[in-house]
Structure 1
């Protein structure tokens, strides 16, 4: 039992961390291993790999994920800002490097090869970009001498510019939506919000006209009778096949024919083998993380912390929603992973970065109020 009277870094962390949020994220990590055991052996066998190749690698990446998440959660808001800045300064140049020197995979240059490991720098740019944008919006709102809004727009333009060139339409859309929400929360007027929405729609139309793979995905989604929606159609059928309670672990068939059963369509494998009820439980777990984060943002007084919590929460929630929507044919295929559930080293480590910062920012921080006439009183916010 950890005493509240102890004044050690661990005891202070334990009594200030949001334990329901922490345990929910831990449950998702464990669920990712269990569902990887169900979905990935069939994919590994089809690729002539060891049956537990992807499971072993998922566990290997999960160990640093846990350590990084917990380590970052010890930071205070100032150090979170510094971490975000450092991560952005490292991985944004790597995004540019991947654009020119990275291998071409499915027509895009998003990866760099570091020895035997492939790294997708944009995964790490996402959470760091959101925190930096929140910081700039907060400073622009708080101080007249800082052009925070203009700097946030410049940062956004540079980031999505590289993503568009890779091209990575899904990540561009995800970052654009979250950034727009942060701009609105920072006090953007409705007329500007409508203008940004119009630019977003124009960007989607431009991507449709200029990028063949985007046009193909929209075409397949809008005209399912063409028979070219193989993965999404099989994924949707898996939910019907599994019913409410599923066929049982290892009894699914969709994973034997879906190329991305262990990544983009692991939610479909979950539906077939564990049933719709289990999928709803998993959905509730994601929803709890999102609602818990937004509750913290609603009750936070410090502008930067409020915006950063809201941004990181929306980033996590939108990515989860997009993946699940694709699996049930509510959206065109995006190639976006289900957080902590889908296989992927870059995805896991980047989630550790984002969720570690979220846990750090949602910790209870002491605030001493200035009491009139009390000598030595500490102004409010000094400990924030």
Structure 2
């Protein structure tokens, strides 16, 4: 074992699956994701007693224990998926998308309805949201179709990509889930643009997306209600958003202290959609800034790695996945800061929820698989083509 190898989990000469994975995956990215998962577990321990009491659950750490289980599963999924080769990523995306779409089609008949939406399947005390898994699979498939279409082999890649997008969005709107529709549309638009299509097409897609988003105000009463509450808070019940703001203000710079938050006792969704506000009250502004910095690191580093890839499919697919993660985090944090209407969207790895946690592990696992350092994956002058570059 070499001196350099002693500082790592595996020596450079280790050609086992784990050894090769360790020396080709972005370990800095793994570390930052591990920190986010740990933060999510800490926040769940802070929020769980109040949430359990509000729901008359005897075990005060019911949600925290479950979140620990979800975190372990998500970490296992992330590492396992990141070991896939490029062909394996495409195959996995295809089967995941087909399975998720099939379940979404069946939701009106077998789904669990909550708050006027039918987005989940409930079994054995757990809820499963198929749209969470559909998102990363869709991004990979449309990137694949765009790259195939550009090869000039007669594959109608753009048409297939739009068909996949239309099916996915149509099923999301049936649920209805406007927040996920917005997220998927933004990520699809980013992939569309990065694939190098004519700018006129990008502008046309943007106009169509804005028109579609505007129409949801008139088509879905809950969307209209949220928009009205945002622009006219004095005329509506804004209890959750107001409580989140009070929690953030009460936390100050360094917070009230672990377990000392009080606003979580009065708001139903503070352990899910507003987990960032729970953390801000107990750990202060430094907590929010640290979370923003961690997500910024993950997204920016991911995009930098993706843009240096030689293969157009890997480049666009990986970048699209990082955009997906970054956009979801940005939307959740913006809602917590009362910058946009509420969306019912989780903060990746930090909000309570099994489907969200595991799906985010899948998303970043796929992104890490695509950005691994393989022979010919990166050009020789970018510093990523030599062994041991990821330190």
TM-score (norm 2): 0.92
Pick aligned residue for 1:34 from 32, 39, 42: 42
**Alpha carbons 1:175, 1:315 under 8 Å: kept:** yes
Aligned to 1:59: 68
Pick aligned residue for 2:55 from 35, 47, 51: 47
Q: Deviations over 1:30-85 (max 9, x none)?
A: 11111111112111111111100000111122222111111111111110110111
Q: Structure 2 matches for 1:231-246, cutoff 5 A?
A: 231-246=240-255
2:234 paired with 1:225 = yes
How far apart, CA to CA, are the structure 2 residues paired with 1:355 and 1:131?
12
**Alpha carbons 2:81, 2:369 under 8 Å: kept:** yes
Q: Deviations over 1:213-266 (max 9, x none)?
A: 000000000111224111111111211111111111111111011101110001
**Alpha carbons 1:271, 1:278 under 8 Å: kept:** yes
95-104 or 257-266, which deviates more:
95-104
Show structure 2 runs of 5+ residues with no match: 1-5, 379-391
Pick aligned residue for 1:154 from 139, 160, 163: 163
Deviation at 1:184, TM superposition (A): 1.1
Q: Structure 2 matches for 1:1-384, cutoff 5 A?
A: 1=6, 2-49=10-57, 50-367=59-376
Q: Deviations over 1:284-311 (max 9, x none)?
A: 0010000011001111110110011111
Specify the SS of the correspondent of 2:284.
helix
Deviation at 1:190, TM superposition (A): 2.0
**Alpha carbons 1:40, 1:261 under 8 Å: kept:** no
Deviation at 1:117, TM superposition (A): 2.0
**Alpha carbons 1:85, 1:128 under 8 Å: kept:** yes
Relative to 1, partners in 2 of residues 1:40 and 1:367: Cα closer, same or farther, differing over 3 Å? same
Deviation at 1:142, TM superposition (A): 2.1
How far apart, CA to CA, are the structure 1 residues paired with 2:164 and 2:264?
40
Aligned length: 369
How far apart, CA to CA, are the structure 2 residues paired with 1:368 and 1:99?
43
**Alpha carbons 2:310, 2:377 under 8 Å: kept:** no
Deviation at 1:144, TM superposition (A): 3.8
**Alpha carbons 1:100, 1:109 under 8 Å: kept:** no
How far apart, CA to CA, are the structure 2 residues paired with 1:46 and 1:105?
17
TM-score (norm 1): 0.94
Specify the SS of the correspondent of 2:118.
coil
Aligned to 1:376: none
Deviation at 1:126, TM superposition (A): 0.7
**Alpha carbons 2:310, 2:376 under 8 Å: kept:** no
151-160 or 189-198, which deviates more:
189-198
How far apart, CA to CA, are the structure 1 residues paired with 2:279 and 2:74?
23
Specify the SS of the correspondent of 1:112.
strand
Show structure 1 runs of 5+ residues with no match: 370-384
337-346 or 115-124, which deviates more:
115-124
How far apart, CA to CA, are the structure 2 residues paired with 1:358 and 1:302?
14
How far apart, CA to CA, are the structure 2 residues paired with 1:192 and 1:87?
28
Q: Deviations over 1:339-381 (max 9, x none)?
A: 0001101111111211111111111011299xxxxxxxxxxxx
Specify the SS of the correspondent of 1:263.
coil
Aligned to 1:381: none
